[in-house]
Amino acid sequence: MWNAPVPVCVNVCWQMLEVSHLKKSFGRLTAVDGLSLSAGSGEIIGLLGPNGAGKTTTVSMIAGLTVPDAGEVRVNGAPPEKRQIGLVPQELALYDELPARENLKLFGALYGAGGSALDRAMKEALELVGLAGRAGDRVSRYSGGMKRRLNLAAALLHDPEVLLLDEPTVGVDPQSRNAIFDNLLALKARGKTLLYTTHYMEEAERLCDRLTIMDHGKVMASGTPDELYRLLPATNMVSLELETPERPLVLDGLRGKEGIRTIERVNDTVKVSVTDLTRDVPGVLAWLAAQGHACRHVASERANLESVFLMLTGRSLRDP
Ligand SMILES: Nc1ncnc2c1ncn2[C@@H]1O[C@H](COP(=O)(O)OP(=O)(O)OP(=O)(O)O)[C@@H](O)[C@H]1O
Ligand SMILES: [Mg+2]
């Protein structure tokens, strides 16, 4: 009987971007320490980490601007060519005194583009980022959000397969942020591969299919947001607002019960983190009732990815 060939490449070759064991040191400081990640076509992956985690250094090595000490970057299974990668840098790279269109021409020239092909690419990129009507304006007249969008357009002119976005929404108002997100989702829908670095967990969760959390140059965890949530020992916080808060209540009897992770009292409310809502909350309510307490209001909230980060790294994602 004829056997179909085994698709040995399934887990490897479909990845548009593969980064393996990248390392970079500056003097005695190891900025990136054996970092690996991968992303498929039509996928947005998030690279999250606090200041100095090594995000920009990683992006810069993928873009070919910084030479790694060790490790490898592959795009579509081979060492990347310049035209396959677009970089939206953390620092705006625009000439304020030039109109947006002239800025884009300069970027196009960097990739050897010109003539009608560049005109078409500029028109398309400006339309995608919603700046087609303002292309003749000097960048100095742009808002912060418009500059960020032009920065994005500049990275798209050569139609790269992989787009690296290094904190593209810093200093951007919520409306422009939404506009940028829509632009990125449109690129994803076209099958592009996006690597998005940020300090903002909410952003990453909203936008990214998978996330890599890094700190001190190393991957601390990676997976879909749901997979990362599952790393948390307690996945739900329940707030129980007491009907008669003035009545004495000693919470010690609740501590150590199965499924109860943490417990604290904040004013009129008892906050309990539980492993399993359905299994653990009835026991908490019954215990409170046995103490002579009823609840005015019970609410549960899901732990957020900030708490995952805190658990993994012992520090918060953003400087206080
Ligand atoms: N050219 C350089 N020379 C020396 N040290 C550097 C250089 N570039 C980066 N570093 C150091 O490497 C570490 C990682 O920096 P990197 O810019 O990659 O962090 P990051 O995660 O992008 O931080 P941020 O969120 O602040 O942008 C930092 O300690 C930084 O000071
Ligand atoms: Mg950075």
- Whether ligand 1 lies within 6 angstroms of the CB of 293 is answered as no
| pLDDT of amino acid 221 | 92
- Whether ligand 1 lies within 6 angstroms of the CB of 91 is answered as no
CA of 53 to the centre of ligand 1 (A): 7
CA of 184 to the centre of ligand 1 (A): 25
Choose one of 57, 169, 170, 203 to mutate for the ligand 1 pocket test, by most ligand atoms within 8 angstroms of C-beta.
Answer: 57
Choose one of 56, 65, 90, 195 to mutate for the ligand 1 pocket test, by most ligand atoms within 8 angstroms of C-beta.
Answer: 56
Is residue 159 one of the residues assigned to a domain? yes
**Closest ligand 1 atom to 53 CA:** 21
State how far the Cα of 246 lies from the Cα of 232, in Å rounded to an integer: 33
Q: Residue 209 is part of which domain span?
A: 15-229
| pLDDT of amino acid 313 | 76
Clarify whether residues 225 and 297 are in a common domain: no
State how far the Cα of 202 lies from the Cα of 10, in Å rounded to an integer: 31
Clarify whether residues 155 and 246 are in a common domain: no
State how far the Cα of 82 lies from the Cα of 161, in Å rounded to an integer: 11
Choosing from 200, 229, 258, the residue where a domain stops is 229
Number of domains composing the chain: 2
Clarify whether residues 265 and 223 are in a common domain: no
Which pTM value belongs to this model?
0.80
Looking only at the bridges linking them, the beta strands covering 44-48 and 29-40 are unpaired
Clarify whether residues 164 and 257 are in a common domain: no
User: Using alpha carbons only, how large is the chain's radius of gyration in Å?
Assistant: 25
User: In CATH, what number is assigned to the domain containing residue 105?
Assistant: 3.40.50.300
| pLDDT of amino acid 233 | 64
CA of 237 to the centre of ligand 2 (A): 32
CA of 254 to the centre of ligand 1 (A): 46
Clarify whether residues 206 and 255 are in a common domain: no
Clarify whether residues 294 and 189 are in a common domain: no
**Closest ligand 1 atom to 27 CA:** 4
Hey, whose CA ends up nearest to atom 17 of ligand 1? 56
CA of 51 to the centre of ligand 2 (A): 7
| pLDDT of amino acid 318 | 64
Choose one of 26, 88, 317 to mutate for the ligand 1 pocket test, by most ligand atoms within 8 angstroms of C-beta.
Answer: 26
- CB-based contacts of 12, cutoff 8 Å, min separation 6: 18
Is the CB of residue 297 less than 8 Å from the CB of residue 218?
A: no
From residue 82, give the alpha-carbon distance in Å to each of 71, 115, 160: 18, 20, 9
| pLDDT of amino acid 112 | 81
Clarify whether residues 296 and 214 are in a common domain: no
Q: Tell me the ligand closest to 216's alpha carbon.
A: 1
| pLDDT of amino acid 255 | 86
Looking only at the bridges linking them, the beta strands covering 236-242 and 269-274 are antiparallel
- CB-based contacts of 146, cutoff 8 Å, min separation 6: 131, 134, 176
Is residue 77 one of the residues assigned to a domain? yes
Hey, whose CA ends up nearest to atom 11 of ligand 1? 31
Is residue 313 one of the residues assigned to a domain? no
| pLDDT of amino acid 261 | 82
Q: Which residues of the chain have pLDDT under 50?
A: 1, 5-13
Clarify whether residues 114 and 205 are in a common domain: yes
CA of 283 to the centre of ligand 2 (A): 46
CB atoms within 10 A of CB 46: 26
Look up residue 160 and give its DSSP letter: -
- CB-based contacts of 88, cutoff 8 Å, min separation 6: 151, 152, 154, 155, 163, 164, 165, 166, 168
Is residue 22 one of the residues assigned to a domain? yes
Is the CB of residue 167 less than 8 Å from the CB of residue 90?
A: yes
Residue with tokens 């307690």: 234
CA of 54 to the centre of ligand 1 (A): 6
Clarify whether residues 140 and 86 are in a common domain: yes
- In terms of Cα–Cα distance, which of 308, 238, 240, 242 is closest to 275? 238
Clarify whether residues 123 and 248 are in a common domain: no
| pLDDT of amino acid 70 | 98
Query: In Å, how far from its chain's centre is CA 264?
Result: 31
**Residue environment code for 93-123, b if the CB has 16+ CB neighbours within 10 A, otherwise e:** ebeeeebbbebbbebbeebebeeeebeebbe
Is the CB of residue 190 less than 8 Å from the CB of residue 44?
A: no
User: In CATH, what number is assigned to the domain containing residue 263?
Assistant: 3.30.70
